[in-house]
Amino acid sequence: MKLQDKFIELRKKRQGILATNFYNYETLEGVLCAAKETNHPIILQLTKSSIDYMGLKVAFNLAKSMLDKHGVEGWVHLDHGSSYELAAQCLDAGFDSVMIDASEQPFKDNIAITSKVVKLAESYGANVEAELGYIAKLGQAKDNSGFTQPEEAKQFAEVTGVNALAVAIGTAHGFYDKEPKLDLERLSEISAVTDVTLVLHGGSGVPDESLRQAIDRGICKINLATEIKNIFMQTLKTKLLTNEEIDLRKVFPTATEQVTKLVKNKLDIVRNEK
Catalytic site residue from 5, 52, 79, 216: 79
Buried b (16+ CB within 10 A) or exposed e, 130-163: bbbbbbbeeeeebeeeebbbbeebbbbbeebebb
C-alpha angle with apex 44: 36 to 3, nearest 5 degrees?
A: 95
List CB contacts of 249: < 8 A, sequence separation 6 or more. none
Q: Which helix (H) or strand (E) holds 6?
A: helix 3-12
Is there a catalytic annotation at residue 52? no
Residue 180 exposure: Cα atoms within 13 Å on the Cβ side: 30
Burial class (CB in 10 A: 0-12, 13-18, 19+), 92: exposed
Q: Which of 133, 139, 138, 192 is nearest to 166 (CA)?
A: 133
Q: Are 148 and 132 in contact (CB under 8 A)?
A: yes
Residue positions annotated with a catalytic role: 79
